[in-house]
Structure 1
Amino acid sequence: MKKDAKSKKKSRIRLLHQYYSYTGFYSFVWKSVKKAILPIVLFVAALWAIDRWVLDIEQMLVTVTETYSPLGIISVFFASESLLGLIPPELFIAWSGKSSSPILYLSLLALASYLGGVISYFIGRWMTKIPAIHEAIEVKMAQHIKNTRKWGGFLIIVGALLPIPFAMTSIAAGIIKFPFPSYLMFGLLRFVRFYLYALVIFEMV
């Protein structure tokens, strides 16, 4: 019985591997990783150049921390993460590194990003109820929606971990009515992304 269970499990894994290979999931992830590397390198290089020749970034972040309330900064980030992820999270991660409680505020930023994704998911669900908006979004996000239908949870994992707008993936998940409990579970990897990026950014600033 145990051998049969193991063989079935191996067969299932093999079939999944074949499916993701055939549908281009691995090549999509690799292309996304390559696209992600350049923005990260450019961001780090820009931070270094600005800090060296333009202004003291550390002092600037300290000034922002002293001028604006943490609640206000996190609220702005939450709004951004709920609406297509317009502001790079790296800026806020750098801010949290100069705050009075870096790990606390980093965790709150990760939570804001996660909850922003949930809002985006329900925006996607809401869009399906308005035919005109649904049709327009279906055209603009056609490829993203197609990929979400093909790869489901794995694409949500990629969206949570890589520097691509998590809100877009979340909206697409809502549009196709991806199971909400599974979305919540996969979306938790958003926290992992923030902590990993913080390891690099905290050292830079």
Structure 2
Amino acid sequence: MDTIKKSETNKFKRTHLYYKYTGFYTFVGQSIKKAIIPIVLIIVALIVLDFYVIDFSNLFTYITETYAPINILLVFLASESLLGLVPPEIFIAWSDKMPEPILYLTILASLSYIGGIISYFIGKWVFTIPRVYDYMEGKMKKHLKQIRKWGGFLIVVGALLPIPYSMTSMAAGMIHYKFRNYLLFGLLRFVRFYLYAIAIFSLL
């Protein structure tokens, strides 16, 4: 029993040292720092704009009444599948004005998860076309290098933090990261949506 515990402890230490020496912890720390500033700025901007320029509650109510939910959800899915073109926070704020906010928030989280899967397979498809692969590899060199080093942990970071999840997913597909593990780590995307909703719903 002691031998098993000792083996597990040594394995944990080796893993810890690997991520330490390869810069994973530094990367996560920098990502959090980079994420905090924009989030704070967005929150402050929303508060200021809401008080002095535009009533966001009325704005999202107008959007809800003007555009069919299916259209907005399709735009969101397209965004989450193609490099995260529109910040998810905008759609989270929109869901708060729907008749059943939690239901729509869950739908958004599910679509984000599905969008990541689509990006994963886009990455796998890109791998089969040499010219496209060379181009994408140049564009995503940093992401590919990171996911080769850190694998699932980078997917966890991408799912939770304001790092383009679509790019992380595409990179995972390009290096043929194990799909089952990708699906498992990607479930943390739901956690991010619910946590962000707690903050955003309270503002609007």
Give the TM-score taking structure 1 as reference length. 0.98
Map residues 3-22 of structure 1 onto 2, 5 A cutoff.
Answer: 3-22=2-21
Corresponding residue SS for 2:146 = helix
Specify the alignment match of 1:44 in structure 2: 43
2: CA distance, partners of 1:99 / 1:42: 26
How far the C-alpha of 1:5 sits from its partner, in A, is 1.1
Residue type at the aligned position of 2:51: R
Specify the alignment match of 1:189 in structure 2: 188
Residue type at the aligned position of 1:72: N
How far the C-alpha of 1:47 sits from its partner, in A, is 0.8
Map residues 87-98 of structure 1 onto 2, 5 A cutoff.
Answer: 87-98=86-97
Specify the alignment match of 1:145 in structure 2: 144
1:171 and 2:170 correspond: yes
Give the fraction of aligned pairs with identical amino acids, expressed as a percent.
Answer: 57
Specify the alignment match of 1:103 in structure 2: 102
Deviations 1:41-97 (A, max 9, x none): 111111111111111110111111111111111111000000000100000000111
Give the TM-score taking structure 2 as reference length. 0.99
Deviations 1:5-55 (A, max 9, x none): 111111100000000000000000000000101111111111111111111
Specify the alignment match of 1:126 in structure 2: 125
1: CA distance, partners of 2:19 / 2:149: 9
Corresponding residue SS for 2:83 = coil
Give the gaps of 5 or more residues in structure 2.
none
Aligned pair count reads: 204
Give the gaps of 5 or more residues in structure 1.
none
2: CA distance, partners of 1:87 / 1:140: 19
